[in-house]
Amino acid sequence: MLVSTLLERLQSDPGRPRLTWYGDDGERIELSGAVLANWVAKTTNLLVEEYDVQPGSMVGVNLPVHWRTVTWALASWRVGATVVLLDGAPEDPAAGNLDVVVTDSPDSWTGSSADLVVVSLPMLARRYDGDLPPGAVDAAAAVMTYADQIIYAPEPDPGRPALTGSGVAGAAGNAVVGHDELVPEAGPEEGVRTLVDGRGRAADVLRQLLRVWAAAGSVVLTGPATAAALEADTARRDRLVATEKIERIA
């Protein structure tokens, strides 16, 4: 299944929560299928219209585990680009030949030849709180100006790479995951609401979300510090499980 098909399925029940985020600053964000698709559409339109991202384009993602990271990855996959997960600065071995870098740490990328998109992680941020490098796009301000529906997006080429970089493991141990293996076929447990620990590598967390969604489920994703706090305080975790109607802990 390609991400384009997955996004269509997530909108089949548009009001159902698909991604609930518990950030380490106490932030709780809930995205229904329709709202998640809306964010992905706006981000897709930005990537296509501003940077001509398409199959074969390399989009570097230098962000922590976060709900915004998910939307940027989904939008990149929707147009058939390769998401390159980055741990650090342009010296990262995975950072070569990038067309676009999406980051919350723009100062680390001023020497890169890639186009730079700067992401503000707080939900209520309307602009980046700092000085932008020359030519960089402020995602907080820019994304909201794009259409709520995808205007044009090329279909992904199943044979092209979809995910590579830090922490990625694909078929036969390769450090590349193709578009044709990115979204797994649905397993036996369908429609399950799953708690996903945000302390894992971004690659593992993204693949876990795709697995849950492929089975028509929904995700409660925690930031790393929140995940650690829940592990240390089982009563708090039990309250969260009950409140969010969580059926499985990944």
Residue whose C-alpha is closest to residue 39's, from 2, 7, 63 = 7
Residue 244's pLDDT band (cuts 50, 70, 90): very high
CA-CA distance, 143 to 45, in Å (whole number)? 8
- The Cα–Cα gap between 185 and 100 comes to 30
CA distances from 61 to 17, 92, 100, 142 (A): 25, 12, 9, 17
Superfamily of domain 3-249: ANL, N-terminal domain (3.40.50.12780)
Q: Which two tokens stand for residue 221?
A: 């994703």
Q: Are 218 and 166 in contact (CB under 8 A)?
A: no
Lowest mean pLDDT among 25-34, 172-181, 207-216, 241-250: 172-181
Can you tell me the distance from the alpha carbon of 202 to that of 208, in angstroms, rounded to the nearest whole number?
Answer: 10
Query: Would you kindly state where each structural domain of the chain is located, as residue ranges?
Result: 3-249
Closest to 17 in 3D by CA, of 224, 235, 217: 217
pLDDT digits (tens, 9 = 90+) for 60-84: 999 999 999 999 999 999 999 999 9
Q: Is the pLDDT of residue 16 over 60?
A: yes
Please state the pTM of the whole predicted model. Answer: 0.94
